[in-house]
Structure 1
Amino acid sequence: MTAVLDRLVPVVEAPAADPKRLWAWAKLLVGVGIVAALVWKVGADGFVDGLRVISAAEVAAALAIGLATTVLCAWRWSLVARRLGLRLPLPRAVGDYYRALFLNSVLPAGVLGDVQRAVRHGRESGDLGAGVRAVVLERMAGQAVVIAAGVVVLLMSPARDVGLVVLAAAAVVVAGYLAARRWTGTGSRWRRTIDDVRTGLLARDAWPGVALLSALALAGHGTLFVIAMRAAGATQSLEQLLPIVVVALLAMGLPVNVGGWGPREGVTALMFAAAGLGAAQGLTAAVAYGLLGLVASLPGALLLVRRGSTGSREMVA
């Protein structure tokens, strides 16, 4: 979530400054460092096995679950956008969300697809700022539900110490970002942000739908993660695996990844090891989930190609 905030807000508030660029590079280097540390400590076999364990059944499941979760998230985005006074039909939202998911998966920063959909929708709606804020709020809502779920299920985990560290890290990053925005932003800008949260997320006719859609989307992502774990050979009960899944999904929101890779694999390996299940198996499961997530986003690639060919025909005409 904070990665989205870091990259979306400057689009409409100020030109990119050198310190921000350095911070962006630093986050990417941390993500690369996590992956390198995993290869050093656990070995590269976990990454190779993550590809090997995926079968046609897992691919089909990824595409089906990906369709469901994308529709749910796009619906959430549409609800938030309407609360901010923007028109966003659901079919349009689904197409843009699919494209964003694919770009997030293949580009290093992991959030550039969200930047693209925010800016495009804002410009086409005639209010770039509102378009960006709608995407920020939509992603905030999803991450808030993941955090809430993490708090609820964490005590079930035998690896609760690792989970607490991840939760604490996420809380510190979010609090630090908000404090920095409050310190550097004007009073009117801060009040506008609070007003947007109240209007887009917390209003009586907004939060029930946003919360339900977020919970259902989380259930879909969690189901896909469990499928990846089963493919990696995990035979433990759902009660044992669920806390690991939720904390791993929460780790994905930390802004130190490369296209989503890094914290997810590190946290899953750590929690598998802490639960006595083996770090290598945890790494394989996380890699399998990452690859299945890429598969789930592939319709976005087709939509990008279609948009490109449509744009080319329009230019020729």
Structure 2
Amino acid sequence: MNTTLLKWIITIGLLAITSQMVHLETVMQTLLSASAGAIVTAIAIQTLSTFLAAYRWSLIMDSLQFHESYRVYLASYYKGAFFNQALPGSIGGDAVRVLEFGSMGYRKKEAFYGIFIDRIVGLVGLLLLNLGANLYSGALLPSWLFGLINMIALGGIAGFALLIVLHKFSFLSAYRITNLLSELSSRFRQVYRGKKAILTQLTLSVIIHFLSIVALYEIARSVGMDLSIELFFVAVPPVFLLTIVPISLAGWGVRESAMIGIFMLIGASKETILSVSILYGLMLIIASLPGLFIWLSGKKLV
């Protein structure tokens, strides 16, 4: 079965199941009552997050000997975000970025490595943020969920450390499949050859996800959701982790189901949580629209 078709089926199925769990009329009323000012604030915060994410990616690509200006990376990042959020089809945002740098004369394989590293360091930043929030306010979640999230976070961080040193095992280069891991590890080492690079990019990753969660919190405030921001830093990262799994279109369906499941554990209204998730998804589409302008205009912001 075509992968895109399967994602459509999963997305529609999850949204259909979710809709059966709530009163849709209440959800619609909540959506219409949202404060425009808070949503604009959320878009501004998400935009700042995107600018920082593009900067982090530029640092990675520079270390891999890609010599372009920050504006080129920002333009490409926006185009990728637009394809991911607003045009979830057979070609994803990461593929768009690989093809674009290939058209500039760079090796597509090296562009892929740079984008993959960017994804991984972003994931580790999310895990670090979640781990820190859990240690600070872990009592807000059931103990079993607290333990599970911490195990996943520690496992992911350990995996990141392993990728940096994996190239030292020379036997990996003897086989085609493992050689790919060895090459990837070499690129990780090239990017993170010093503590400063690691600390800088992990700090950026934490800040980027911090801003995304604050943006979601602002959307929650826009519909009158009265929960502490500490709770969002504990509950939202697991949702983000689940939406990274590419089984639906731009995370739709997965995000809504996960948010309802997690926030119900702390007594939040299903209708309100679903409204927040829908508004957040729409906000991500709006925030990615500069990518449409750049794509249509054919500009690289140079």
Normalising by structure 1, we get a TM-score of 0.77
> How far did 1:64 drift?
1.7
1:233 aligned residue: 224
Give unpaired runs (5+ residues) of structure 2.
Answer: 164-171
2:214 aligned residue: 223
Q: Kindly indicate whether the alpha-carbon contact (under 8 Å) linking 2:30 and 2:272 is maintained by their aligned counterparts in 1.
A: no
The CA deviation string for residues 107-166 of structure 1, in whole angstroms up to 9 with x for no partner, is 235971221012211331421111111111101111111122223323243255456667
User: Following the alignment from structure 2 to structure 1, what is the Cα–Cα distance between the partners of residues 291 and 118?
Assistant: 19
* Counterpart pick for 2:12 among 19, 32, 55: 32
> How far did 1:212 drift?
1.7
Change (3 A) 1:156 1:255: farther
Change (3 A) 1:45 1:113: farther
Q: Kindly indicate whether the alpha-carbon contact (under 8 Å) linking 2:81 and 2:291 is maintained by their aligned counterparts in 1.
A: yes
1:266 aligned residue: 257
The question of 1:294 aligning with 2:285 is answered: yes
The question of 1:210 aligning with 2:201 is answered: yes
Q: Kindly indicate whether the alpha-carbon contact (under 8 Å) linking 2:22 and 2:271 is maintained by their aligned counterparts in 1.
A: yes
The question of 1:158 aligning with 2:149 is answered: no
Partner SS, residue 42 of structure 1: coil
293-302 or 158-167, which deviates more: 158-167
Change (3 A) 1:49 1:212: farther
> How far did 1:25 drift?
4.5
* Counterpart pick for 1:250 among 231, 241, 249: 241
Q: How many aligned residue pairs are there?
A: 281
* Counterpart pick for 1:149 among 129, 140, 144: 129
Partner SS, residue 259 of structure 1: coil
> How far did 1:101 drift?
1.1
Change (3 A) 1:114 1:208: same
Give unpaired runs (5+ residues) of structure 1.
Answer: 1-20, 311-317
Change (3 A) 1:252 1:81: same
Q: Kindly indicate whether the alpha-carbon contact (under 8 Å) linking 1:110 and 1:258 is maintained by their aligned counterparts in 2.
A: no
> How far did 1:246 drift?
2.1
Q: Percent identity?
A: 21
1:87 aligned residue: 67
2:272 aligned residue: 281
> How far did 1:202 drift?
5.6
Q: Mapping of 1:55-70 within 5 angstroms? A: 55-70=35-50
One-letter amino acid matched to 2:140: S
Change (3 A) 1:159 1:38: farther
* Counterpart pick for 2:191 among 195, 200, 214: 200
Change (3 A) 1:157 1:252: farther
Q: Kindly indicate whether the alpha-carbon contact (under 8 Å) linking 1:50 and 1:288 is maintained by their aligned counterparts in 2.
A: no
Q: Mapping of 1:86-125 within 5 angstroms? A: 86-109=66-89, 112-125=92-105
> How far did 1:289 drift?
1.2
> How far did 1:277 drift?
1.4
User: Following the alignment from structure 1 to structure 2, what is the Cα–Cα distance between the partners of residues 202 and 252?
Assistant: 30
Change (3 A) 1:201 1:252: farther
> How far did 1:47 drift?
5.6
User: Following the alignment from structure 1 to structure 2, what is the Cα–Cα distance between the partners of residues 110 and 207?
Assistant: 33
Q: Kindly indicate whether the alpha-carbon contact (under 8 Å) linking 2:129 and 2:210 is maintained by their aligned counterparts in 1.
A: no
2:115 aligned residue: 135
Change (3 A) 1:273 1:131: same
Partner SS, residue 137 of structure 1: helix
User: Following the alignment from structure 1 to structure 2, what is the Cα–Cα distance between the partners of residues 130 and 90?
Assistant: 18
